């Protein structure tokens, strides 16, 4: 399994198209935007690569340009607890970057993905001098709090349909993952990694969600038809 230094060696400047997909960048003042563009780097992560690892010092504020990642931690009894999936357009780890502390979670690529990083010092410079960047980070922290509360609730759910529905809803959060759109490219195996279910159980759960007109299963992905339903709907166990 590859770890962070390998990703660091693969880093490069972002292309204009990749920069155009970063939602917060367009909200910055010209001087702040120029600084961010100059400092941002992107790297290709292979399946299994760790972008962040528990105990490692923070170096970057990360964002998903393309692909899919899993944020998780280990419980005292040795189990792995998945906090959330990280889909295109999502930036994460701002709390850790703010405190300049070691990571308390792992972030791992589930498929070949592009991950961007803004150096910690640049993050703090923008925070000190850009009001627009401050607003974005505050909104991120607020959304993230709700996301992790929901993740704890999901972890206690035993019904496969609920676990899959809530995990899909989290991946389609328009504030945290503006790059997803209406269709998420995701496999049943990847959904299984995020929800803690077998591929077969995920397949059965997706069929139920489609039957209730919450999603449409498309080639290579899932289209959301009713996001609020994915967040709140209950399903009969009979």
Q: Which of 120, 106, 116 is nearest to 7 (CA)?
A: 116
Radius of gyration of the chain, Cα coordinates, nearest whole angstrom: 18
Question: Is domain 4-153 in CATH 2.60.120.10, yes or no?
Answer: yes
User: In the numeric block, which tokens belong to residue 101?
Assistant: 């502390």
CB 194 within 8 A of CB 200: no
For the chain, what are the domain ranges?
4-153, 158-232
Beta strands in 180-234 (DSSP E): 183-185, 215-218, 221-224
pTM of the full predicted structure?
Answer: 0.81
Per-residue pLDDT of the chain (238 residues; tens, 9 = 90+): 344 666 777 889 999 999 999 999 999 999 999 999 999 999 999 999 999 999 999 999 999 999 999 998 876 676 677 778 899 999 999 999 999 999 999 999 999 999 999 999 999 999 999 999 999 999 888 887 776 666 666 666 678 898 899 888 888 888 888 877 778 888 898 989 888 889 999 999 999 999 999 999 988 789 999 999 998 888 775 4
The CATH number of 158-232 is 1.10.10.10
CA distance 164 to 204: 10
Q: Tell me which residue of 176, 153, 177 sits closest to 165, measured CA to CA.
A: 153
């Amino acid at each position: 399994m590859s770890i962070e230094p390998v990703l660091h060696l693969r880093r490069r400047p972002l292309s204009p198209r990749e920069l155009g997909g970063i939602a917060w960048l367009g909200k910055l003042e010209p001087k702040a935007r120029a600084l961010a563009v100059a400092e941002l780097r992107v790297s290709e992560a292979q399946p299994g690569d760790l972008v962040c690892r528990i105990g490692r010092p923070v170096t970057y504020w990360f964002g998903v340009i393309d692909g899919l990642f899993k944020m998780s931690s280990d419980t005292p009894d040795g189990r792995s607890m998945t906090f959330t999936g990280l889909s295109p357009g999502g930036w994460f780890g701002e709390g850790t970057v703010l405190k300049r502390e070691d990571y308390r979670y792992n972030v791992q690529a589930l498929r070949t993905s592009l991950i961007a990083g803004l150096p910690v010092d640049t993050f703090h410079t923008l925070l000190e001098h850009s009001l627009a960047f401050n607003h974005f980070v505050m909104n991120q922290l607020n959304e993230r709090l709700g996301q992790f509360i929901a993740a704890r609730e999901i972890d206690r759910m035993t019904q496969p349909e609920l676990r899959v529905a809530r995990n899909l809803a989290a991946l389609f959060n328009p504030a945290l993952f503006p790059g997803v759109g209406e269709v998420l490219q995701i496999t049943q195996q990847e959904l299984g990694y995020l929800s803690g279910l077998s591929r077969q159980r995920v397949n059965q759960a997706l069929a139920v969600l489609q039957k209730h007109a919450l999603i449409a299963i498309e080639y290579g992905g899932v289209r959301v038809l009713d996001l609020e339903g994915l967040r709140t709907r209950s399903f009969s166990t009979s």
